[in-house]
């Protein structure tokens, strides 16, 4: 799973497939520069891409199969921290709604990515921002869906 690929339509998926060894599932940012997400799956592993609900969200999701049974859903997403607080809160609400829909399955779901939420305290599940902030919206999504952070990023900077 790769977040912030910075890939665009001019960047061929073949360049990411590592000499054709991987299937490439990607969602490039619609506007210019930055963002984008990608999931690389080793050839021979049975899987299929799942459509995200909002074409503007930077989400790619893949279901993995064992035989004819779906076993796991992997989601990779990116949330840009650029914009005013009300716009960020609105975009986070859309992203969480899309993730909520993708989580409505009977098998395990793993969400990876960069959500740019450095002020959330994952030990106590507290956001210092207001109740309608992007942080509070994301934290509520995680709590309601029983998600937890498994791999903190940038621990030396305090952004966990």
Q: What is the pLDDT of residues 87-97, one digit of tens each?
A: 999 999 999 99
- d(CA 20, CA 1) in angstroms, rounded, equals 17
β-pair partners for 50: 61
Kindly state whether residue 121 falls inside one of the protein's structural domains.
yes
Q: Looking at the domain assignment, is residue 156 inside a domain?
A: no
What is the pLDDT at residue 73?
A: 95
- Please give the helix or strand (H or E) that residue 97 lies within, else none: helix 85-102
Q: Provide the 3-class DSSP secondary structure of residue 154.
A: coil
**Does residue 101 lie in a domain region?**
yes
CATH assignment at residue 60: 3.60.10.10
pLDDT tens digits for range 30-74: 776 778 899 999 999 999 999 877 877 899 999 998 877 778 999
Residues 6 or more apart whose CB falls under 8 angstroms from that of 31 comprise none
Domain that holds residue 25: 2-148
Is 48 a member of any domain? Answer: yes
In a domain, 40, yes or no: yes
Q: Which residue has the tokens 């993995």?
A: 64
In a domain, 158, yes or no: no
- Structurally, how many domains does the chain consist of? 1
Residue 159 placed within a domain: no
State the pLDDT at residue 131: 82
pTM of the entire predicted model: 0.86
Is 153 among the domain residues? no
Q: Which residues pair with 25 in a beta bridge?
A: 39
Q: Between these two residues, 150 and 82, which has the higher pLDDT value?
A: 82
């Amino acid at each position: 799973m790769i977040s912030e690929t910075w890939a665009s339509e001019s960047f061929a998926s073949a360049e990411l497939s590592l000499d054709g060894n991987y299937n490439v599932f990607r969602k490039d940012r619609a506007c210019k520069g930055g963002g984008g997400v990608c999931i690389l799956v080793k050839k021979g592993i049975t899987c299929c891409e799942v459509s995200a609900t909002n074409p503007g969200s930077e989400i790619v999701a893949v279901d993995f199969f064992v035989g004819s049974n779906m076993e796991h859903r992997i989601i990779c997403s990116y949330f840009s921290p650029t914009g005013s607080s009300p716009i960020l809160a609105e975009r986070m609400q859309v992203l969480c709604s899309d993730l909520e829909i993708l989580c409505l399955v009977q098998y395990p779901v793993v969400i990876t990515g960069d959500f740019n939420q450095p002020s959330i305290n994952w030990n106590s599940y507290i956001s210092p921002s207001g109740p309608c902030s992007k942080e509070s919206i994301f934290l509520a999504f995680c709590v309601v869906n029983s998600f937890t952070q498994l791999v903190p990023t940038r621990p030396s900077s305090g952004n966990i």
